[in-house]
Amino acid sequence: MNITIFGSGYVGLVTAACFADAGNDVLCVDVDAAKVERLRRGECPIYEPGLETLLVDNAWAGRLRFTTSAAEGVAHGLYQFIAVGTPPNEDGSADMQYVLAVARSIGQHMNGYRVVVSKSTVPVGTADKVREAIAIELHGRNASVEFDVVSNPEFLKEGAAVADFNKPDRIIVGVSSDKAAEHMAALYAPFNRNHDRIIVMDVRSSELTKYAANAMLATKISFMNEMANLAEVVGADIEKVRLGIGSDPRIGFDFIYPGCGYGGSCFPKDVKALAHTAHSAGFDARLLKGVEAVNLQQKNRLFRKMQRHFGSVENRTVALWGLAFKPKTDDMREAPSRDLMEAVWAAGGCIRAYDPVAMDETRKIYGERDDLYLASSPEDAVMGADALAIVTEWRVFHSPNFERLASLLRNRVIFDGRNLYDPALVERAGIAYYAIGRGRT
């Protein structure tokens, strides 16, 4: 099948590579000429396990190509995927300018039936706006061309996106015609062989499903962080509580790990956008507001613990393990590490940081500065620091030599934002240990 994908960001590239790997002829369109040239050279602009190999292999096989020409893209694909960014506006709403710009381009160039598929995370009602934008362009050309607009939200976890696409737990398809539903079933047939994972619904329900899923997961995280903060006050151990409630199959263990807050490109943006959608509809989404408020507070929790321990962070050096918002990605959007670093800097302190893959991204964001040292290893980061803070639970951080850490730290203290360690084991090495919801405040 011929597939066009507008946008070569995280969602667009994973979607393009996986469709091409299933034997489809995929053309990826992007306005960034420099990025297109990089992709043509086989360079993957993001870190995602397995993605670069797929891009290179399928480009070499001729199934995956890249262009800056919208006209070429519209002419190529029966399926026109919109996978461009929807960054947040200042009021929390999703910025739809890029989605609607693609819709207008499709309307300007299409001369035959197309299935226009919204893959971007968009507010309820966006498909209607896409349909209207295409129709206006067709009317301006005095052209009568049939098309369908479909909502097909992505549910890709960063760090496991290729596996999620190839073996989805569900494929949500929002349609307004049987014809569109049949085309989408044919497109996803190679990913749907074991059992039927396609859930067909109306377009607005599909659009809301994506936001509701991310908001639900964010809610579980914020709830657990609220319980962790309560555990500190009443003298309980949140890790024991987690085991106690997670064993209930109605709750489960996923997304109930307390920590220093969630980040990334999805949860923070989508919770705000859903709350804005609710407000625009005259509905007061109090729970969503609480989820966001708890998370913002949680991102400052490690720094507050440092302040209480030291009295002042001025002239202190903090070793930071983990910069990406989660393991197996270099994405630092809304990452808790950024909140912590910026708080330390504002208080007059310095950072020595290490992350297995996000060092280049850190340089892009912060550049060269005297109060930031990007270390070559976890041990290098700790050397001569006053404290160690763990912000991302990369596997390489799970089993350190605590006696060695005690000898490298000027002040023997660890602030663990991911509850990786047994407090008794750390303290036997003579290191003060502050975690989330485990006694010390």
Instruction: Tell me the DSSP string of 250-293.
Output: TT-STT----S---SSSHHHHHHHHHHHHHHTT---HHHHHHHH
CB–CB of 44/54 below 8 Å?
A: no
| Residue 214, token pair as written in the block | 């991310």
Three-state DSSP class for residue 441: coil
Report the C-alpha gap between 89 and 198 in whole angstroms: 32
CB–CB of 116/130 below 8 Å?
A: yes
Cα–Cα distance list, 440 to 28, 159, 163, 308 (Å):
51, 32, 39, 11
Report the C-alpha gap between 216 and 197 in whole angstroms: 21
Residue 15 Rama label (left phi>0; alpha psi -120 to 50; beta): alpha
Report the C-alpha gap between 49 and 165 in whole angstroms: 13
Report the C-alpha gap between 370 and 323 in whole angstroms: 18
Report the C-alpha gap between 345 and 148 in whole angstroms: 52
Report the C-alpha gap between 192 and 213 in whole angstroms: 21
CB–CB of 28/67 below 8 Å?
A: yes
| Residue 416, token pair as written in the block | 């663990």
| Residue 3, token pair as written in the block | 């597939």
Angle at 70 between CA 66 and CA 76, to 5 degrees: 70
Is 266 an active-site residue? yes
CB–CB of 246/202 below 8 Å?
A: no
Angle at 126 between CA 132 and CA 143, to 5 degrees: 20
CB–CB of 199/170 below 8 Å?
A: yes
Catalytic residue among 28, 260, 266, 350: 266
Report the C-alpha gap between 160 and 156 in whole angstroms: 7
Q: Catalytic positions, please?
A: 266
